Amino acid sequence: MVKKLQKSGDGAKAASSTQLAATVKESAQQIWLAGLGAFSKAQEEGGKVFEALVKEGVTLQKRTQAVAEGKLSEATTRMSSMATDLSTRASGQWDKLEGIFEDRVSKALKKLGVPTSRDVDALVKRIDELQRTVASLQGGGSARKTAAKRTPATKAVARKRAPARKAAG
């Protein structure tokens, strides 16, 4: 540590002044060296502390990422489940809407007097039966003439219904 100066007489003032300068110089030197030593220690220990902090930061980052990925996965699962539920509900609503639409169109067509496909099928069958009856009444040879005299509308209906009969038979 710093050496304390001893008080001396006037003659010793000159020597004391030199001694004081030497003591101050020595104290400054010691302070300087202590500072350098502290700096060196701080550098050594600072590097170690820095490395320890980096390792701790990496560990913390990994844990944080794992937690975030877990939360993201959970949120994705929830959203997927909600989307499936909404899709199912919407599908059911579309089916109901389609049924209501078909019923209303059917009622509107019925009010307008538009025949249904069942009505048209029944008429085609009835026409076929009438043609057979007429052919049997006229005789075998004239049945061909009667078939040839079908109206264009009857021919069109017969053509449309013929593939359906083939598929059914």
List pLDDT tens digits, range 33-49: 998 888 888 888 877 88
Judge whether 163 lies within some domain.
yes
Number of continuous H segments (helices) and E segments (strands) in the chain: 4, 0
Judge whether 142 lies within some domain.
yes
Domain region containing 131: 115-169
State what percent of residues in the chain have pLDDT above 90. 33
Region 61-89: what's the mean pLDDT? Answer: 91
Is residue 146 a contact partner of residue 131, using CB atoms and an 8 Å limit? yes
Judge whether 168 lies within some domain.
yes
Domain total for the chain? 1
Supply 63's token pair.
């844990």
List pLDDT tens digits, range 18-31: 888 889 999 999 99
List pLDDT tens digits, range 88-98: 888 888 888 88
Judge whether 42 lies within some domain.
no
